[in-house]
Amino acid sequence: MTSEQPPTAKRVPHERVHHGDTVVDEYFWLQDKEDPDTVPYLEAENAFTTAATAHLEPLRETLFGEIKSRTKETDLSVPTRKGGYWYYTRTEEGKQYGIHCRVPAADGRMAPPEIGDGAALPGEEVLLDGNELAGDSEFFALGTFDLSVDGQLLAYSTDFSGDERFTLRVKDLRTGEVRPDVIEDAFYGSAWSADGSTLFYVTVDEAWRPYRVWRHTLGTPASEDVIVHEEPDERFWVGVELTRSERFLLVDINSKLTSEVLVIPADAPDTPPRPIAPRRQGVEYSVEHHGHRFLILHNDGAEDFALSYTSVDNPGDWTTLIEHQPGTRLLQVDAFSGHLVVSLRRDGLTGVRVVPLHGAAPYDIAFPEPLYSVGPEANLEYDTTSFRLHYVSMVTPDSVYDCNLDSGELTLRKQKPVLGGFDPARYEQHREWAIADDGTRVPISIVARAGTPRDGSAPAVLYGYGSYESSMDPWFSIPRLSLLDRGVVFAIAHIRGGGEMGRRWYDEGKLLAKKHTFTDFIACAEHMVKAGWSAPERVVARGGSAGGLLMGAVANLAPASFGGIVAQVPFVDALNTILDPSLPLTVTEWEEWGNPLEDPEVYAYMKSYTPYENVAAVPYPPILAVTSLNDTRVLYHEPAKWVARLRVASPGSEVLLKTEMGAGHGGPSGRYDAWREEAFIAAWVLDKVGKA
């Protein structure tokens, strides 16, 4: 720490009364972005963080240089076939954003063109250049990128602030001109009618909930657009998509527990949508079109999901195609003319099963490493015998394979290049198991430099999330190499609340079982120490968003178990947020956390674990909180309030707040800016574990 004093937030008592419980929130005022003191306070916090970390500037530059030098800056994705073209994205050295392109496909050629050194391919047509669109904007994000069925029109949307409200436009690829159709405040997702005359899109309500699907006829004003579906139940959100077969438009309606899918013929876009199956509380299902039937992946009487089908012409009863198998969580089905491909997870690992439809036996694709993550890539064509998948481990860079669905043969199309003499043999990965308080075995994925001593001397970063059934499957990271090469062990705690071990794993870490998420993480930290990987003062915990809630909770529960905590866009004021239905996404979250507004048991339970409510006058490990002013998912005021309260309760603890003043939930948008952000965090981590 420097001798400079941190800024002091003004304290304005604000009373909250629920279920007979009165709570005073002295930093409630920070919720008002228009308060004249809010932005200056955040800027003062940024200035303090800059001063407190000034000594790390040389290390940050070194780390940024290492990331940059290991990254092939001019590079090209593996082209994906659709119709008469191969589509791909490439990057150029010195440019922040991707360039979206295509080249004509030779008739009958199913293998993608050679991508060479990553430069533009012969005959390239640039569809969108993110760098040109971004211009001088500090933030830029592309939302929708959606080609019409004939490949002649491109719907795309842009966001220049990070608030995830996009402007949707249409580019005519025959002329290169952007059409006059402009739709403001669109959300993610769109779908074209079969003839390209009609575009479907989504908008959000005041609470940022995607709730309306619209139909726009090209060449008409947006004011004449028609609402196809408006979802009145505030627990549900909507989306829209075109099936791979390009025969149907699907309106997807989901809450945390319940689903409904409406269908519209793609060649008759004015047809009123009809449900494939009406919603039933607690039943989740998704739909894929396949010939004369709709395939339905569902959990009706099937905790880990089963696959059924119903008639396209008269959707009704479901006929089982793949039975429910407890412990094998079915995640997704991709339908092709002659095969089905099922993505699944079992024993804490992902997998891919191929189901031939012409007599051959189903088979699982085998992979050589004991620890990995695999799943589908873009597979745009329906009539194909080739399935593209993505494979990665903690020591194997991201790899793209094409699988011959008839033979199961895998062809490596590309492995992400890692420059600077990277050798995977210099690293080792392990799957270990912690024992939670209730005896549950919790998997941990670990990667370290080969030969790392198991005597407790190494520092470690323990990463966790544990919410929404989202799985933190093993991944490869170029920035992580800078930590590993300095002797830092990196581990992922696959805690309950995530989906790593199936649906029950999720159910045991939500609602009134949420504390399992936190105690599982602490058990993983304790295992890292018992197994000799590290020592408490050298373990840095890291998580973001709902994983930031995890960080705040474990800081309160077990501050002595960590030598530092990195909380990114952290959901640390969860109780106050979930009590306020006017805030973005609150009502849709009640099925994840419970409804403390109506249920006193939920209120008491949430109050017992939410980080802001449980800050105590105890020594905390050093904490770095990172947030964004325009975040619409976890509002900036949550970490700002948390940091202010920590400072008062524990004045001797090192607590830093860094706010991106022009970004959203994902932080900086450009790749170089993102690398600098990662270098900032990595330098702080290395400083806390004595490796700076």
Instruction: Specify the amino acid at residue 548.
Output: G
**Structural Rg of the chain based on CA atoms:** 25
pLDDT average, residue stretch 324-338? 96
The span from the CA of 161 to the CA of 137, in Å, is: 9
**Strand, coil or helix: what is 155?**
strand
The span from the CA of 501 to the CA of 331, in Å, is: 12
The span from the CA of 256 to the CA of 271, in Å, is: 28
Identify whether 551 is part of a domain.
yes
Cβ count within 10 A of residue 51:
14
pLDDT in tens, 597-633: 999 999 999 999 999 999 999 999 999 999 999 888 8
pLDDT average, residue stretch 675-691? 97
Which tokens sit at 370? 């004991």
Averaged pLDDT of the chain: 95
The span from the CA of 575 to the CA of 607, in Å, is: 6
Place of tokens 């099925």: 591
Identify whether 167 is part of a domain.
no
pLDDT of residue 108: 58
Instruction: Specify the amino acid at residue 500.
Output: E
pLDDT in tens, 126-183: 999 999 999 999 999 999 999 999 999 999 999 999 999 999 999 999 999 999 999 9
Q: Which domain holds residue 447?
A: 15-68+421-688
Instruction: Specify the amino acid at residue 2.
Output: T
The span from the CA of 250 to the CA of 266, in Å, is: 9
**Strand, coil or helix: what is 605?**
helix
Identify whether 237 is part of a domain.
no
pLDDT in tens, 31-58: 999 999 999 999 999 999 999 999 999 9
pLDDT of residue 595: 97
pLDDT of residue 545: 96
Identify whether 444 is part of a domain.
yes
pLDDT in tens, 545-557: 999 999 999 999 9
- Report the number of distinct structural domains present in the chain: 1
Exposed / middle / buried, residue 269 (Cβ in 10 Å: 0-12, 13-18, 19+): buried
pLDDT in tens, 302-321: 999 999 999 999 999 999 99
8 Å CB contact between 281 and 257: yes
Provide CB contacts within 8 A for 671, sequence distance 6+. 91, 96, 97
Beta strands at 237-242 and 399-404: parallel, antiparallel or unpaired: unpaired
8 Å CB contact between 601 and 512: yes
Exposed / middle / buried, residue 167 (Cβ in 10 Å: 0-12, 13-18, 19+): middle
pLDDT average, residue stretch 278-296? 97
Q: Which helix (H) or strand (E) holds 479?
A: helix 478-484
Crossing angle between the packed helical segments 57-70 and 671-688, to the nearest 10 degrees? 130
Looking at residue 216, what DSSP letter applies? E
Instruction: Give me the active site residues, please.
Output: 545, 631, 665
Q: Which residue has the higher pLDDT, 433 or 633?
A: 433
Exposed / middle / buried, residue 654 (Cβ in 10 Å: 0-12, 13-18, 19+): middle
pLDDT of residue 627: 96
Exposed / middle / buried, residue 683 (Cβ in 10 Å: 0-12, 13-18, 19+): buried
Identify whether 674 is part of a domain.
yes
User: 3-state DSSP: the chain helix, strand, coil percent, rounded to 5?
Assistant: 20, 35, 45
pLDDT of residue 3: 47
Return the CATH number at 45: 3.40.50.1820
Residue 437 exposure: Cα atoms within 13 Å on the Cβ side: 9
pTM for the full predicted model: 0.95
pLDDT average, residue stretch 334-359? 95
Is the pLDDT reported for residue 444 higher than 60?
A: yes
Identify whether 461 is part of a domain.
yes
Share of the chain above pLDDT 90, in %: 93
The span from the CA of 461 to the CA of 525, in Å, is: 10
Identify whether 478 is part of a domain.
yes
The span from the CA of 559 to the CA of 549, in Å, is: 14
Provide CB contacts within 8 A for 328, sequence distance 6+. 304, 344, 345, 346, 502
Identify whether 309 is part of a domain.
no
8 Å CB contact between 645 and 6: no
pLDDT in tens, 230-266: 999 999 999 999 999 999 999 999 999 999 999 999 9
Q: Which helix (H) or strand (E) holds 335?
A: strand 328-335
Is the pLDDT reported for residue 1 higher than 50?
A: no
8 Å CB contact between 539 and 529: yes
Share of the chain above pLDDT 70, in %: 99
